């Protein structure tokens, strides 16, 4: 007597082919069906992470700005570096996995992050300055002069001024060699001001045929980063070339995080002399250089699915065109 066929008699190759047509949002609930389903679905998700992490035909966009400078701060692109558990962090090569070994676990999937390097977009290589009447050469010369003056003065922050002077010299050398500068954001704290806020918006876009036009646009995260005076002073003082900067998370779920390299700047040429009492904190200025952006890989995979849905709507005749704010 022949027994009726069940799902357990289906080979893994056929099961993978069947489940491969489902989007990630439909695959995740099926993990609880059985251990076999869990192993097969996690293998499919790992392969999709491997394909989606490098963002083929897509770009990661980071907007990190002070609330008062939303319209004047250009956005940054994110160049893919590696993904935890999939790529080697030192070489960027894909980590080999055995065919019969489990690819990853559900808990490991939730802890995986994709790493990106923020870079300036071509149309925003010349960033907007607070004083637009100054030329690039005049503004750079004033920055160098201010940092050298701060480094030569005997103040308690002389070590920070020295590191700022070193960073400025490196930036000047990069400009002389026609190398792209690392994107940065300047933070100013008035007397008695304890912290500053940076609005952090991360989007996934598919670049269109023309500059500034996107064929699809989905939001990954919209958060806020607070940088405190004490933290900025500690990072500027203890910064060393080989040390890894801490991660500042933009939301409580730790979906998106940013690493900054902090250096202190002398804001003396940008403000009038002020009388500060002994128990008050003087105004300070810091430069935050973008080192790395971390995005939760599972969230990135789901947003790739949303982007694919927008592209289907676009191909059906209803165009979705997003004009970039430059």
Higher pLDDT, 271 or 211: 211
Mean pLDDT across 276-288: 77
Distance CA 279, CA 276 (A): 8
Higher pLDDT, 47 or 220: 220
| Structure confidence at residue 175 (pLDDT) | 43
Residue 34 above 50 pLDDT? yes
| Structure confidence at residue 154 (pLDDT) | 36
Lowest mean pLDDT among 29-43, 289-303, 312-326: 312-326
pLDDT band at 268 (very low <50, low <70, confident <90, very high): low
Long-range contacts of 63-69 (CB under 8 A, 24+ apart): 63/199, 63/200, 63/201, 63/202, 63/203, 64/185, 64/198, 64/199, 64/200, 64/201, 64/225, 64/258, 64/290, 65/185, 65/198, 65/199, 66/185, 66/187, 66/196, 66/197, 66/198, 66/199, 67/197, 67/199
β-bridge partners, 218: 204
Distance CA 168, CA 172 (A): 6
> 56-93 pLDDT, tens per residue?
788 899 999 999 988 888 999 999 998 887 765 555 55
Higher pLDDT, 317 or 192: 192
| Structure confidence at residue 99 (pLDDT) | 39
Give the DSSP letter of residue 102: -
Sign of torsion, CA 50 51 56 58? Answer: negative
Can you give the pTM of this predicted structure? 0.71
Strands in 121-244 per DSSP E: 184-189, 195-207, 213-228
> 108-160 pLDDT, tens per residue?
878 889 999 999 876 555 444 444 444 445 555 555 555 555 444 333 333 33
Q: Considering the chain, what is the average pLDDT of its residues?
A: 74
Q: Could you tell me what percent of the chain has a pLDDT over 70?
A: 64
Distance CA 218, CA 202 (A): 9
């Amino acid at each position: 007597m022949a027994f009726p066929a069940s799902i357990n008699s289906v080979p893994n190759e056929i099961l993978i082919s069947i489940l491969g047509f489902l989007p990630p949002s439909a695959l995740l609930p099926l993990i609880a069906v059985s251990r076999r389903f869990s192993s097969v679905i996690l293998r499919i998700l790992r392969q999709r992470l491997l394909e989606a992490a490098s963002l083929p035909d897509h770009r990661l966009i980071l907007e990190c700005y002070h609330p008062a400078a939303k319209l004047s701060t250009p956005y940054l692109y994110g160049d893919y570096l590696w993904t935890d558990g999939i790529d080697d962090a030192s070489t960027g090569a894909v980590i080999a996995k055995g065919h019969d070994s489990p690819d990853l676990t559900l808990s490991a999937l939730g802890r995986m992050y994709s790493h990106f390097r923020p870079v300036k977009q071509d149309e925003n290589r010349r960033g907007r300055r607070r004083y637009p009447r100054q030329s690039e050469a005049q503004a750079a010369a004033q920055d160098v002069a201010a940092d050298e003056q701060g480094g030569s003065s005997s103040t308690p922050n002389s070590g920070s001024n020295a590191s700022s002077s070193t960073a400025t010299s490196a930036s000047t050398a990069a400009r002389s060699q026609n190398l792209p500068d690392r994107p940065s954001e300047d933070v100013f704290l008035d007397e008695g001001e304890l912290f500053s806020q940076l609005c952090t918006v991360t989007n996934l876009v598919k670049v269109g045929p023309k500059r500034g036009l996107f064929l699809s646009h989905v939001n990954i995260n919209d958060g806020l980063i607070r940088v405190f005076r004490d933290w900025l002073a500690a990072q500027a003082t203890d910064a060393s070339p080989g040390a890894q900067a801490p991660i500042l998370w933009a939301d409580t779920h730790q979906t998106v995080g940013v690493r900054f390299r902090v250096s202190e700047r002398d804001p003396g040429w940008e403000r009038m002399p002020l009388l500060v009492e002994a128990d008050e904190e003087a105004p300070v200025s810091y430069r935050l250089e973008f080192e790395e952006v971390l995005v939760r890989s599972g969230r990135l995979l789901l947003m790739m699915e949303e982007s694919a849905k927008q592209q289907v709507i676009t191909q059906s005749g209803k165009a979705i065109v997003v004009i970039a704010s430059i």
